[in-house]
Structure 1
Amino acid sequence: MDILIKVLQLFLAFTLLVGIHEFGHFIMARIFRIRVEKFYIFFDPWFSLFKFRRGHTEYGLGWLPLGGYVKIAGMIDESMDKEQMKRPVQPWEFRAKPAWQRFLVMIAGVVMNVLLAVAIYCGVSYAWGESYFSNDDARWGYNFSDEGKALGFRDGDRIVAIDGVPAENVSKIISDLVITEGDRTVTVQRGGEEVALRLPLDELIALRKSKGYEHLMTLRIPFLIDSVDLAGTGAAAGLRRGDEIVAVDGERGLDFPQYAERIRRSAGDTVRLGVLRGGTELPLTATVSDEGLLGVYVGSPYTLRTREFTFWESIPAGIRKTGNVISSYWDQLRMIVQPKTKMYEEVGGFIAIGSIFPSVWDWQDFWLKTAFLSIILAIMNILPIPGLDGGHAIFTFWEMLTGRKVSDRVLEGAQYVGLAIILFLLLYANGNDIYRFFIK
């Protein structure tokens, strides 16, 4: 059932993204009175699931969910329909229009995907606000996994900055650490002092490949007393709500689970406590019950901060979010082509994309993931690879600059090269999926 929910979310998101993208090409072509012969969501080699014709356009749903397409009259595209190019140019064809109109038709799909992301982020900001854990609240620091300690972190370290940039959002710290093209310098607060840790690129690459970042660090839970059982031994010792236990029998620097375990080991005996109250540490002695308890209850000091937006505030918030995600993903894409980062080994296909969706249906998460995928689709399509929108656009842009149109023969050859590149990327990405999930 979990897999089915993931698949349904992926299918719904992909259908929406492909439909919006192709609608961009379609509507811009129609604005310039260019005839669109086919409008398909998903590919339809040999047959389609259903189709109908309205006017000059055949609308349909293909069976191969690797994308979609619009077949624009008079354009050399993935259909490789050479016969139409041999016929006399008609006024309603793509090739009959000025270069600036053809350029706009080519980039319209990318623009629609970006606008969709903006619309989604605006809607999410208005409906749910922006929730985050502030690093300012993490004054007790973090506990680190073995992988984190191997990098030089210690339990209780509080990350202050990464390469000199202050760490603000807890959920972004991990990605800021591991998505890099070079060594990282992390400033941590340790024992009241700031310490600089140098994290080599090769160790960060190994952390990414092993997915050791998934549990790299967790917020430390302090022994912060939320309430006291008046019949318990803690009340008799003088413990109060708001007290923080910072030492047990001389042991310091632990968090609540570790202090609680230390107290349990003294069941039926007494313990010496260091209690922080109003900024002053008090020494108290408490008797531990036979069950290993003090009769106090601990509360979490962490709250999920939520910034709410009015309708009008959500619009610039959505635009900023889109810009930040585009910038972040572009940086990742740039690092993929740099051999030293080895991020190309982590490229994934449909299995990797589907795995980002949760196994339960959460509309907020669904829309956030859909917006992110819409940006990925936009960026991937604008790359100057023949066969993609960016490849078509760059030839048209060259014509706009020079006044010389690229010959059909060159366009046809570039289309074959582009299709070969796209096929290779598809096989490589999905081959990585198969290797990681079924073989490795």
Structure 2
Amino acid sequence: MDKTVCELFAGVGGFRLGLNKSANDWNFVWANQWEPSRKAQHAFECYINHFGESENHVNEDIATIDKNTIPNHNLLVGGFPCQDYSVARTQARGIEGIKGVLWWQIRDILQVKRPPFVLLENVDRLLKSPAKQRGRDFGVILACFNDLGYSVEWRVINAAEYGFPQRRRRIFIFAFRNDTNFSQKLDENNLRAWIHNQGFFQNEFPIQKHFETKHTPIEKQMEYIDLADVSDNFQLTFRNTGIMTNGKIYTEETNPTKHPQVSLGSILETNVDEQYYIDTDEEKLKKWIYLKGPKRIERTSKTGHTYTFSEGGLSFPDPIEKPGRTMLTSESSLNRSTHVVKDLVTGRLRILTPIEAERLNGFDDNWTNTGMPQKFRYFCMGNALVVGLIEKMGKTLNYIFEKETNEHYKQIESAAITSEN
């Protein structure tokens, strides 16, 4: 099968870099990156700096693009935001999702282009949102895939548990059309075996066969009239691993096999500019210590209710013998979540450099040094994924694509044309 890729919400190119590291024959036929709230499109400029300018590298709002103009592709990838996926019935257009929610742009592309494989990334809270109807949002996504003839496997992966220097938990969603060769191995009557043996994630991200857990596996058949019905009524406690095929869901809590940890200290630079040190301003240093420390603060809600806000303390400085914490878009600013380390050479306290932020996600040094403001370099890394995870998934995709033949899809297309006539 031709290894053609469409990349959505491309950012600074983490998916593309990861797949290219797994093999050099991935052909990205179309990519889209757009920051609606920003006049300067720094992430897109970074993308084309590395991958070249092309009419198929598009810096436009995906909602305004005719999906028929996107080239055909066999793999759709993207890291899409966690939003409100509820839908409602409308008189004019039947069933409609909330305007601006980017999942519906993905769904629209799937409807028009029908790629055999899809690989998506999101924050792990997607499985539990919204709080008042746990699992509804992910249920809507699964129903969309199901209606379009796809099976879906998912796994919440903490990068640090598989040998990377950041404790970054994200859900990865791998969907495959039910007419692919890959799907023929799926036994609907033994979905647990798929997760533990034949599935997409198990080869590169092995899990323990047996371990103690208080969470029992869950099996559920989705029964719904339409997407609005799912939005109104669906609820399920999704575990960190699962599979859905033909509306049948199997989900269980899994534990990774042990991998050697890679420490935060292993990615630190040794010749760091003075601008990154925080010990030159005594008042700011006191603020750092306060923000990182434990707190119990009396507050009053809008309704007049008094309550106590509390939070535990964070290590200050961050321990460099362990993997780093999850990097956020606010990295480097004076706030609780920013990493502060003791410099390897001077022993002084400092924040991470932009290069160290890139290394935490597995990007090449100075990947984002393409003319954007330094603050935005950190922002891009807070939004990015861990490149090494995609590289590992790319190795599995390489194998899957080898087993999919172009002749197989010609037969499928021929049968579809015959049935239409």
The TM-score, its normalising length taken from structure 2, stands at 0.21
Bigger Rg over Cα: 1
Instruction: Choose between structure 1 and 2: higher helix proportion.
Output: 1
The TM-score, its normalising length taken from structure 1, stands at 0.20
